[in-house]
Amino acid sequence: MKSADDTIIRCHRLTKHYRKGKRTVTPLEGLDLSVRRGRFVAFMGPSGSGKTTLLNLIAGIDTPSEGELEVCGTDMMGLSGGRLARWRAHHVGYIFQLYHLVPVLSAFENVELPLLLSDVPRRERKERVERTLALVRMQDRMHHFPRELSGGQEQRVAIARALVASPPLLVADEPTGDLDREAGDAILALLRELAAEHNKTIVMVTHDPHAAAAADKTMHLEKGRLVDGNGGGEAGDGG
């Protein structure tokens, strides 16, 4: 399956099955989707609609059962184990609702963690971490520990950690779900900036219509299938 140059995510009849006891559960079935590079796309839907499953498949955390999935020019159906882990390290940054910062590490050290897993020299690590913290406007808090930061500041550090290895794709699971409206709006503005000015592709799952409205495109999942959420354009077209 060959993607157009600006298409970073392409799914065709993407399906995921799980075994649950004696039953087969299908959270995603026959899903078609394309997302162009530099777009900010939000997925909404009720619990059990397949949102998190789709996010995990796109991020390479899980593998499809059937269909076709291409992300960043790679056929995801052919990856598993160590190859999948190496692909994730170079292509995807993951932003969580609850930040998952290491409490005994400073903001600088938390952001540096992904670079410690690769062969990046110490001086370059320092430059990249400082540059990335400046991008999310946290350079003046780089030596603070998570307990010394507000929730919004912790999420900015978490976004910097997701960005520091320069992945083209960011996947965000309820990134404003633990924040008040003001802090959440600041994070959404930052995500929009990353897409519009830094050509990052952002795929976000949210239950919050206000958060979804910040995206370029909102799509709805129901029972593992996409339903167009913007009233116009083909369902599943995230371009």
125, HSE (Cβ side, Cα atoms, 13 Å): 16
pLDDT of 237 reads 56
Strands 169-173 and 92-95, how do they pair?
A: parallel
Rg (CA), the chain: 18
Q: Token pair of 57, please?
A: 């498949």
Q: Token pair of 162, please?
A: 């997701």
Gap between the Cα atoms of 80 and 82, Å rounded: 6
Gap between the Cα atoms of 167 and 2, Å rounded: 21
CATH topology classification for 7-99+167-228 = Rossmann fold (3.40.50)
Residue pointed to by tokens 């839907």: 45
In tens, the pLDDT along 137-177 reads 999 999 999 999 999 999 999 999 999 999 999 999 999 98
pLDDT of 223 reads 84
For the chain, 239 residues long, give each residue's pLDDT as a single digit of tens: 444 468 999 999 999 988 888 888 888 999 999 999 999 999 998 888 889 999 999 999 888 999 999 999 999 987 877 888 889 988 999 998 888 999 999 999 999 999 987 788 899 999 999 999 999 999 999 999 999 999 999 999 999 999 999 999 999 999 998 889 999 999 999 999 999 999 999 999 999 999 999 999 999 998 888 886 543 333 455 55
pLDDT of 218 reads 94
Q: Token pair of 33, please?
A: 């989707």
Helix (H/G/I), strand (E/B), else coil: 41: strand
The residue ranges of every structural domain in the chain are 7-99+167-228
